Amino acid sequence: MSSNPQPAASAPAVTASAESRARGRRIDRSDALLLMPSLLLLLAVIGVPTASIVLSSLQPNVLLHFSGPAFDNYRYLLGRSYYIDVLGRTFAEAALTTCFAVPLGYAAAMAMRELGGRFGNLAALAVTFPILTGPLVVALGWLSLLPDGGPLFGPLVHAGLIAPPRLLGTQTAVVISLVQFTLPFAMITLYTALRHIPRQLYEAAASLGAGSLHTFLRVTLPLSLPGVQTAAILTFSLAASSYISPHYLGGAAQLTLTTLIAEFVLATYNSPIASASAIMLLVLMTLVVVLMTKAFARWIRP
């Protein structure tokens, strides 16, 4: 009578599989314990203040009187065309900044990648200088350059070559400043993405007879799209949440949600309305980021 050794042979495999699963659970627990301090810190510095702002946004204020927590502050903001215009201006400036900064950053990042080695690292270091100076220095620099009699347009105006441009207090001035401030962030992000593309792919494309344009469309652009997505989200978020450039270069005629929040807090001392504006900005920016992620997902290779 023949015997079947299969169950005996499979017993060590079953034991090894069980040990592997147990080891995986132990590793998961260790990862969770290692993440716990960071999660607690995020909860303390982001979660608690955000919850406090949400609660404040549901409270009555000097403009609106209602009993108990309610959404009257949000209805007040969304029911007036003035605040809708401010909301639209905020995201229009952020979208324009993204449309200019990302392509410019992409072209600069490609040039930095071609430098390579020490020169590429020096170029990346030089790009970070505007970040180190901060948005206030950038805005004040444009505040001195953009007036009609400033060093940028003054000589041309005095020579009669152009009419006074009148840029200060316009959306154009705000976008120019935002592009300069966000451009280094886009460049560094895209430079990192481009450097991770293996050189062997370019050699393979060249060996197959692909030209520069074809290589860019088939190799560089598809593989760098995750970096483009990150740069676009980062640029949009920085531009939409910027306060310095709209305040100094846009003024009262170019209010955005951030400058409006400051007006509510500093001028009218209306914290509930300011909190509602801040939560609206947070929610809408999150929605835009989700939509941008979904839009890029169909083009990014898995």
User: Tens digit of pLDDT per residue, the chain (302 long)?
Assistant: 444 555 544 555 555 555 555 555 555 677 778 888 888 888 888 888 889 999 988 888 877 777 778 888 899 899 889 999 999 999 999 999 999 999 999 999 998 888 866 777 777 778 777 777 778 888 888 888 888 777 878 787 787 777 878 888 889 999 999 999 999 999 999 998 998 888 888 888 888 888 888 888 888 889 999 999 999 999 999 999 999 999 999 888 888 999 999 988 888 888 899 999 999 999 999 999 999 999 888 888 66
The overall pTM is greater than 0.85? no
Listed residue (136, 102, 99, 155) closest to 245, CA to CA: 136
Longest CA pairwise span in the chain (Å): 111
Please report the pLDDT score of residue 98 as a whole number.
95
d(CA 136, CA 282): 23
74 within 8 A of 280, measured Cβ to Cβ: yes
184 within 8 A of 131, measured Cβ to Cβ: yes
Q: Which long-range contacts (CB under 8 A, 24 or more apart) does 76-84 make?
A: 76/273, 76/276, 77/273, 77/276, 77/277, 77/280, 83/260
235 within 8 A of 250, measured Cβ to Cβ: no
Listed residue (298, 299, 246) closest to 92, CA to CA: 246
Query: Could you tell me the two tokens for 94?
Result: 């952020």
Cα dihedral 77→82→87→89 (10° resolution): -170
Please report the pLDDT score of residue 87 as a whole number.
92
Angle formed at CA 194 by CA 188 and CA 197, multiple of 5 degrees: 150
d(CA 86, CA 13): 65
d(CA 204, CA 191): 22
Please report the pLDDT score of residue 1 as a whole number.
46
d(CA 72, CA 39): 33
249 within 8 A of 173, measured Cβ to Cβ: yes
Please report the pLDDT score of residue 22 as a whole number.
54
**241 secondary structure, DSSP code:** T
Angle formed at CA 268 by CA 265 and CA 270, multiple of 5 degrees: 60
